[in-house]
Amino acid sequence: MVTKTITITEDAYDAIKRMKRGDESFSELFKRMRVLEKHKELSEGFARRIADVRTRLKRID
pLDDT tens, residue by residue, 26-35: 999 999 999 9
Does any domain span residue 24?
Answer: yes
Find the mean pLDDT for residues 36-49: 90
Does any domain span residue 5?
Answer: no
Does any domain span residue 16?
Answer: yes
Please state, in angstroms and rounded to a whole number, the distance separating the CA atoms of residues 8 and 14.
10
Does any domain span residue 14?
Answer: yes
Does any domain span residue 1?
Answer: no
Weakest mean pLDDT among 5-9, 24-28, 34-38: 34-38
Q: Supply the range of the domain harboring residue 23.
A: 10-60
Q: How many domains does the chain contain in total?
A: 1
Q: Concatenate the DSSP letters of all residues of 2-59 into one string.
A: --------HHHHHHHHHH--TT--HHHHHHHHHHHHHHHHHHHHHHHHHHHHHHHHHH
Does any domain span residue 3?
Answer: no
Does any domain span residue 2?
Answer: no
Does any domain span residue 49?
Answer: yes
Please state, in angstroms and rounded to a whole number, the distance separating the CA atoms of residues 7 and 58.
53
